[in-house]
């Protein structure tokens, strides 16, 4: 191999797919050939990459011949069907769906936390859930200093997490609302303009938790390598276009102060402190949109825990970037820098 890679993007026209394309160019990921794959609806259209128009092809079983790395972001069922086919054809699949995340044979990776897990891949590496990534990039360096025993998370999730069509529904329904026109939602289950609702993933009637909330619990435990960390989440969709915000409360093993947390996060990778008490300026989705770092602020003692072991904070991160495409590209960068393309397959 010449140090340049043949790359495919499955779901290239989607909200995450176009970010993969943009980031490959922006970060100068070494590409010798780029194959853009989507549904039959998009076949024949073009997307621009490095000053050239590249024709989109319909995703097929033969799409992954002679491909080194395949980024998947076309939904769970497409990943389930075509991911193993791509891996079988010799590509390393970096999958943004939930299809393989909890498979014990598939590494679930956030490069700031567990890059070493990439070495264990057998053809597929999973990109974690967006809310999980945005919460735990700042929590990891705290966890390493003073283990987190419990996390309570409440999310304020943007439309982008449900794809390009949901972003369009938010924009269109808001326009209709302001113009006093009726609007029938078709993508999300409830009216979105000037409203918010419990996350649209499937609810488990027995526990009362939806799939998004369960992902935050299970994926955090897997990535941290700590099945004993206790987590409860409430995931809510809010009328924001593209960055997720989250209120996080952690309980650590030993007492911890806001000053210690600020000191830890000041040098943490992938994190930017936005904690301007004097000006009441804290993480906002408008500021997080378009940047790779997770913004962290409102760092304060949780006064409901008199032991001094608990901290509350507020974070915001771009769901399409660090929550999806950027994390995926960073995984690919770890793989090529460490020579792990073949992984544990051979
Ligand atoms: P297309 O644009 O042709 O429908 P999003 O996450 O923004 O909803 O995007 C989903 C992505 O997955 C799009 O690129 C979409 O392509 C692609 N996709 C959806 N269904 C299929 C399918 N059956 N085969 C291949 N790609 C698909």
Is 346 part of any domain?
Answer: no
Residues lining ligand 1, Cβ inside 6 A: 11-17, 38-39, 41-42, 59, 74-75, 78, 163-165
**Mean pLDDT value of segment 236-242:** 98
For residue 343, being part of any structural domain is answered with: no
Q: Could you tell me the pLDDT band of residue 346, with boundaries at 50, 70 and 90? A: low
Q: Which of 9, 11, 320 to mutate to test the pocket of ligand 1 (most atoms within 8 A of CB)?
A: 11
Asked whether residue 100 falls in the same domain as residue 161, the answer is no
- Return the structure tokens found at 315: 């974070």
Residues 187 and 261 in one domain: yes
For ligand 1, the distance from its centroid to the CA atom of residue 119, given in whole angstroms, is: 30
Query: Are residue 116 and residue 157 in the same domain, yes or no?
Result: no
- Contact (Cβ atoms closer than 8 angstroms) between residue 180 and residue 265: no
Kind of pairing, strands 243-252 and 148-157? Answer: antiparallel
- Number of folded domains that form the chain: 2
Distance from the alpha carbon of residue 256 to the mean position of ligand 1, in angstroms: 45
pLDDT value, residue 1: 42
Q: What is the structure's pLDDT at 63? A: 98
* pLDDT tens digits along 176-209: 999 999 999 999 999 999 999 999 999 999 999 9
Same structural domain, 308 and 210:
yes
65 alpha carbon to ligand 1 midpoint, in Å? 20
Element (H, E) at 142: helix 130-145
Whether residue 67 has pLDDT greater than 60: yes
Res. 235 pLDDT band, cuts 50 70 90: very high
CATH number of the domain to which 101 belongs: 3.40.50.720
In a domain, 238, yes or no: yes
98 and 227: one domain?
no
User: Are 122 and 182 part of one and the same domain?
Assistant: no
Please state the pTM of the whole predicted model: 0.98
The residue whose C-alpha atom lies closest to atom 2 belonging to ligand 1 is 13
Please indicate, yes or no, whether residues 135 and 121 belong to a single structural domain of this protein. no
Structure token digits, residue 340: 């792990």
pLDDT in tens, 74-87: 999 999 999 999 99
Mean pLDDT of the chain: 97
The number of the ligand 1 atom at minimal distance from the alpha carbon of 74 is 12
Tens-digit pLDDT profile for residues 140-174: 999 999 999 999 999 999 999 999 999 999 999 99
pLDDT, tens only, 297-330: 999 999 999 999 999 999 999 999 999 999 999 9
Residue 231's pLDDT band (cuts 50, 70, 90): very high
298 and 187 in a common domain: yes
Verify that 158 and 273 share a domain, yes or no.
yes
Same domain, 50 and 161: no
Q: What is the CATH number of the domain that holds 241?
A: 3.30.360.10
Name 117's Cβ contacts closer than 8 Å, sequence gap at least 6.
107, 108, 109
User: Is residue 213 domain-resident?
Assistant: yes
Answer yes or no: is pLDDT of 343 > 90. Answer: no
| Cα 187 to middle of ligand 1, angstroms | 14
Task: Determine, yes or no, domain membership for 180.
Answer: yes
Per-residue model confidence as pLDDT tens digits over 95-135 = 999 999 999 999 999 999 999 999 999 999 999 999 999 99
Whose alpha carbon is nearest atom 6 of ligand 1? 163
Burial of 52 (0-12, 13-18, 19+ CB in 10 A): exposed
Does the residue 289 lie in any domain? yes
Q: Which domain covers residue 256, as residue numbers?
A: 131-318
Q: Give domain status of residue 305, yes or no.
A: yes
Q: Is 156 left (phi over 0), alpha (psi -120 to 50) or beta?
A: beta
Q: Specify whether 218 is located in the same domain as 276.
A: yes
Q: Does residue 268 lie in a domain region?
A: yes
Distances (CA, A) of 222 to 78, 117, 190, 341: 24, 11, 32, 22
Given a contact cutoff of 8 angstroms between Cβ atoms, the answer to whether 252 and 149 are in contact is yes
Same domain (yes/no): 166, 109? no
Residues marked active site are found at 130, 244
């Amino acid at each position: 191999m010449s140090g340049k890679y043949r790359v495919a993007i499955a779901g290239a026209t989607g909200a995450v797919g176009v970010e993969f394309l943009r980031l490959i160019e922006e970060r100068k990921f070494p590409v010798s050939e780029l194959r853009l794959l989507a549904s039959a609806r998009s076949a024949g259209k073009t997307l621009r990459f490095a000053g050239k128009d590249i024709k989109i092809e319909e995703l097929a079983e033969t799409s992954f011949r002679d491909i080194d790395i395949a980024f998947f972001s076309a939904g769970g069922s497409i990943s389930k069907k075509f991911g193993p086919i791509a891996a079988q054809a010799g590509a390393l699949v970096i999958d943004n769906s939930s299809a393989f995340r909890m498979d014990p044979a598939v590494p679930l990776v956030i490069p700031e936390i567990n890059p070493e897990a990439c070495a264990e891949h057998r053809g597929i590496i999973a990109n974690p859930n967006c809310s999980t990534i945005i919460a735990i990039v700042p929590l990891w360096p705290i966890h390493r200093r003073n283990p987190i025993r419990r996390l309570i998370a409440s999310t304020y999730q943007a439309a982008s997490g449900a794809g390009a069509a949901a972003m369009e529904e938010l924009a269109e329904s808001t326009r209709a609302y302001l113009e006093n026109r009726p609007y029938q939602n078709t993508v999300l289950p409830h009216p979105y303009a000037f409203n918010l609702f419990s996350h649209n993933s499937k609810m488990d009637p027995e526990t009362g938790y939806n799939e998004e909330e369960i992902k935050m619990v299970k994926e955090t435990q897997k990535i941290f390598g700590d099945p004993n960390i206790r987590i409860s989440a409430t995931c809510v969709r809010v009328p924001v276009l593209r960055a997720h915000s989250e209120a996080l409360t952690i309980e650590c093993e030993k007492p911890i102060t806001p000053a210690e947390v600020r000191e830890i996060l000041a040098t943490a990778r992938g994190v930017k402190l936005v904690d301007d008490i004097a000006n009441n300026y804290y993480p906002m989705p408008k500021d997080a949109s378009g940047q790779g770092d997770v913004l962290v602020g409102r760092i304060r003692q949780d006064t409901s825990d008199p032991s001094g072991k608990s901290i509350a904070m507020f974070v915001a991160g771009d769901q399409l970037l660090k929550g999806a495409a950027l994390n995926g590209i960073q995984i690919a960068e770890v793989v090529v820098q460490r020579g792990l393309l073949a992984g544990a397959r051979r």
